[in-house]
Amino acid sequence: MDWGMKNRISRIIKPETGRAVMLAVDHGYFLGPTTGLEEPRKIIAELLPYADSLMLTRGILRTSVDPKSSIPIVLRVSGGNSIIGDDLSNEAITVSVKDAIRLNVSAVALSIYVGGKYEHQTLKNLATLISECEEYGIPVLAVTAVGKDMARDAKYLSLSCRIAAELGAHMVKTYYCEDFQKVVKSCPVPVVIAGGKKIPEKEALELAYNAVREGAAGVDMGRNIFQSPNPVAMIKAVRSIVHENVRPEKAYKSLKL
């Protein structure tokens, strides 16, 4: 791995702890004005000081993040359909590597749909993107999206994560599940977890704690932070778990809900 690639990864996964607090605000690429993200600029500005990196789309980066900011960017570069469309797995690469470099990103992210109708297309997208990004030392985060008929269990998520790593992904994002350590052990690159749909704060903090205890390199969390009644307190609590191994009960108390 070359210096540039290593340097970019270390901007996302902090070398001090080997962990990452990524703030995911890319949901609009298929959900439109997602609850909590109606005014992206406002919520991003509030949460930015507590995130290690920001995962978002090109449009929201350009319009809603101050270019003077030093926050590392993980740019979503796949999409092309909506929540009311035909099939979410029918994704294409939506941003050129040239534009990603122009935007000075630290990594790019693309979804794969293993077992989905367009599985082959999304895996080919991943392989193509990785080959192009290798030329410039840009790390690729593979997002293991789950189709509505797929079980989010260790067997399925291990399959998805391992395939992503075999194709050359430098990091993988998946969901927490029972026997999560099996997913991590069989994936040779760092695994971060998505938070998923909004759940009670206590449960979301337990999820983050269990994930890192079982080997996750951190979180790439969105709705459970920006849809919380106190998003700033929530990201601080998640951060204390990820970087300081604070127990979820203590982190929950810090929310003062």
Please report how close the Cβ of residue 215 comes to ligand R5P at its closest, in angstroms. Answer: 19
- Contact window for ligand R5P (CB under 6 A) among 154-162, 163-171, 193-201, 249-257: 193-201
Beta bridge partners of 108: 75, 140
The 3-state DSSP class for residue 20 equals strand
How far apart, in whole angstroms, are the C-alpha atoms of residue 12 and residue 73?
A: 8
- The binding track of 27-66 with respect to ligand R5P, each residue x by CB under 6 A or -, is x---------------------------x-----------
Nearer Cβ to ligand R5P (2/84): 84
Q: Which amino acid is at 196?
A: G
From the candidates 42, 98, 173, 185, which is the catalytic residue? 173
Rg (CA), the chain: 17
Phi, psi of 20, rounded to the nearest 5 degrees: -140, 135
Is 173 among the residues known to form the active site? Answer: yes
Of these, 221, 233, 235, 251, which contacts ligand R5P (CB under 6 A)? 221
Closest approach of Cβ 105 to ligand R5P, in Å?
15
Q: Is 239 in the site for ligand R5P (CB under 6 A)?
A: no
What is each CA distance from 194 to 68, 176, 204, in whole angstroms? 28, 8, 10
What character string, x for contact with ligand R5P (CB under 6 A) and - otherwise, covers 137-166? ------x-----------------------
Does residue number 91 form part of the binding site for ligand R5P (CB under 6 A)? no
Site for ligand R5P (CB under 6 A): which residue of 8, 19, 23, 26? 26
Min dist. Cβ of residue 227 to ligand R5P (A): 8
Coil, strand or helix at 8: helix
- CB within 8 A of 27, min separation 6: which ones? 34, 37, 222, 223
Q: Evaluate whether 81 touches 90 at the Cβ level (below 8 Å).
A: yes
> With 0-12 CB in 10 A as exposed, 13-18 as middle and 19+ as buried, what is 226?
buried
Taking the complex as a whole, the smallest distance from the CB of residue 2 to ligand R5P amounts, in Å, to 27
Cβ neighbors of 225 (< 8 A, separation 6 or more) are 23, 47, 195, 231, 234, 235, 238
Q: Work out which of 52, 91, 214, 220 binds ligand R5P, going by CB under 6 A.
A: 220
- Rounded-to-integer distance, Cα 109 and Cα 247, Å: 30
Which residues pair with residue 160 across a beta bridge? none
Q: What is the nearest approach in angstroms of ligand R5P to the Cβ of residue 154? A: 18
Q: Does 195 bind ligand R5P (CB under 6 A)?
A: yes
Residues that bind ligand R5P (CB under 6 A): 24, 26-27, 55, 143, 194-196, 220-224
Provide the annotated active-site residues.
173
